[in-house]
Amino acid sequence: MTNPEITELIAKLRDERNLSDEGLATLIDCEDATELLGIEADKVRRKIYGDAVYIRGLIEMTNYCKNDCFYCGIRRSNTSATRYRLTEEEIMECCREGYSLGFRTFVLQGGEDLYFNDERMCGIVANIRKNFPDVAITLSLGEKSRESYQKLFDAGANRYLLRHETADNEHYHKIHPAELSPENRKKCLFDLKEIGYQVGSGFMVGSPFQTTENLVADLRFLQELDPDMIGIGPFIPHEKTPFADKKQGELTLVLRMVSILRLMFPHALLPATTALGTIHPQGRELGLKAGANVVMPNLSPVSVRKLYDLYENKICTGEESAQCRGCLEMRVKNAGYHIITDIGNVKRS
Ligand code: SAM
Ligand code: FES
């Protein structure tokens, strides 16, 4: 590909918010397109969101998980993981601290932990809703029945993050055990949307066996789902998983995917993820410059942070919430943006 050809493809993607599968594959694979994609993506994000970066406070509430995803450090077969779950009071304390630090969105994330059944989870959501009526309550607790999602919505949750992980069925089965299905994962996302949640989906970049065609399929699936948020980050191996020896996702490929997403979904909320910050000291700053507009500082108690061990060398595990908030504020500023503390709803055209 020559430079003028790359420039032309990027301009077409920007103007039409779409390209042929072949055009998308060319940009995904083209190392030389990384910088220009970033420049165009940044222009688009500034036109819609200015220099605003939204913050969401992440509360990692449990690392018990009944699932056994091959890539994940908290999979049930990892018997060397020290398991923990926060009490309702601990979760409320994280929210109180987060609220005083200016957070207006809490993301309750965890493994698929059967202890947190609908009754317990609805109680927690209702408690947060009662004490903090003006916040957005985001859940990221994996696959549930439509009835459970409805109950949680009725209790006061309004957003749900569930990455589709990979849109290609064959690839899905290569990175998950047989009991998990791509059909159910996708059904959950459509159920959540129909119920009225603001939905976030996404995928890992560079997960084992992933091809360029798989990434194109991910973009096509996202066009169909049209989520409010799209979370992507590099796959990072964890030594106690079957993928211990697999290669981590490449920084520049993640950055190109962030930029392509910004050009295809100009209004989407795109986080500069912790995983991106883990593979490069300036990973999140580079993500913001490539088109991302959300960061998710950690609000979990420091005592459990190392235990929410999805992948190796995860950052932000030693810092208090206020430090993590302050650190990100500075990083966002240095990258040329600024943090907004309001609820940060997606802007729809
Ligand atoms: N259980 C919920 C779920 O499945 O959606 C939420 C927790 S799950 C640990 C959150 C996300 O972590 C997953 O969607 C996955 O993309 C990401 N993740 C897990 N293992 C990872 C790894 N080794 N490298 C990068 N990301 C990983
Ligand atoms: Fe968490 Fe820097 S963002 S410590």
Tens digit of pLDDT for each residue in 321-331? 999 999 999 99
Q: Tell how far the Cα of 72 is from the centroid of ligand 1, in angstroms.
A: 6
Asked if residue 2 has pLDDT above 90, the reply is: no
Q: Tell how far the Cα of 163 is from the centroid of ligand 1, in angstroms.
A: 8
Domain boundaries, the chain: 3-340
> What digits encode the pLDDT tens for the residues 261-297?
999 999 999 999 999 999 999 999 999 999 999 999 9
Instruction: Tell me which of 58, 278, 315 to substitute to probe ligand 2's pocket, judged by most ligand atoms within 8 Å of the beta carbon.
Output: 315
319 Cβ closer than 6 Å to some ligand 2 atom: yes
Provide mean pLDDT across the span 147-172.
98
Q: How far apart are CA 128 and CA 38, in angstroms?
A: 38
Q: How far apart are CA 14 and CA 266, in angstroms?
A: 9
Q: Tell how far the Cα of 277 is from the centroid of ligand 2, in angstroms.
A: 9
pLDDT at 349 (0 to 100) = 63
Q: How far apart are CA 195 and CA 303, in angstroms?
A: 36
Contact 251, 332 (CB under 8 A): no
Tokens at residue 153, please?
């919505």
Q: Tell how far the Cα of 232 is from the centroid of ligand 2, in angstroms.
A: 18
Q: Which has more pLDDT, 264 or 319?
A: 264
> What digits encode the pLDDT tens for the residues 70-94?
999 999 999 999 999 999 999 999 9
What predicted TM-score, i.e. pTM, was given to this entire model? 0.97
Contact 136, 105 (CB under 8 A): yes
Q: How far apart are CA 323 and CA 326, in angstroms?
A: 5
Q: Tell how far the Cα of 240 is from the centroid of ligand 1, in angstroms.
A: 15
Q: How much is the mean pLDDT over the chain?
A: 97
Nearest to 320 by CA among 294, 345, 298: 298
Position in ligand 2 atom list of the atom nearest CA 318:
4
Q: Which ligand is nearest to the CA of 330?
A: 2
**High-pLDDT (> 90) share of the chain, %:** 96
Nearest to 194 by CA among 231, 143, 157, 149: 149
E-strand ranges in the chain read 52-55, 57-62, 105-110, 136-140, 159-161, 198-205, 229-234, 294-295, 338-340
297 Cβ closer than 6 Å to some ligand 2 atom: yes
Q: How far apart are CA 160 and CA 137, in angstroms?
A: 8
Nearest to 92 by CA among 297, 301, 298: 301
Confidence of residue 35 (pLDDT cuts 50, 70, 90): very high
302 Cβ closer than 6 Å to some ligand 2 atom: no
Q: How far apart are CA 138 and CA 105, in angstroms?
A: 7
316 Cβ closer than 6 Å to some ligand 2 atom: yes
Superfamily of domain 3-340: Aldolase class I (3.20.20.70)
